Amino acid sequence: MGLKIRKGDMVMVIAGDDKGKTGRVLSVDESKNRVIIEKVNFVKRHTRARSQNQQGGILEKEAPVHISNVMLFDPKAGRGVRVGVKVAKDGKRERISRATGDVISKE
């Protein structure tokens, strides 16, 4: 089954340390059911200098979040919403917000 959250979607974190934060999805890992969200779930990575031009130090980057801990953010509803799939008359499948019934645009 395909995932209902895609790269570029605005999502809201509903569980964990970053609960309540919203951000744009940077990448989706379907095999592990995880997403990386912009400016959410930062971790620190200590790196050693490997060569003369690469300097070591502490890097901060986003870590993956399990897909069950995020919901699609609907600006009209102002909160995270469940996602449904509706088949249009021409046979195309569209994602819809269960709260408002509006079609969610592809970005």
pLDDT in tens, 33-51: 999 999 999 999 999 998 8
**Site of tokens 């095999």:** 31
23 near 11, Cβ under 8 Å? Answer: yes
pTM of the model: 0.85
- Residue indicated by tokens 């990448």: 27
Structural domains of the chain, ranges and CATH numbers in brackets:
10-97 (2.30.30.30)
Which residues in the chain belong to E strands, given as ranges?
Answer: 10-13, 22-29, 34-37, 42-47, 57-62, 65-66, 70-74, 79-81, 83-87, 93-97
How confident is the model over 62-86, as a mean pLDDT? 94
Task: Give the chain's mean pLDDT.
Answer: 92
Asked if 24 contacts 10 with a C-beta cutoff of 8 angstroms, the reply is yes
Here the tokens at position 105 are 């645009």
- pLDDT tens per residue across span 16-32: 999 999 999 999 999 99
The pLDDT assigned to 45 comes to: 94
Residue type, 45: R
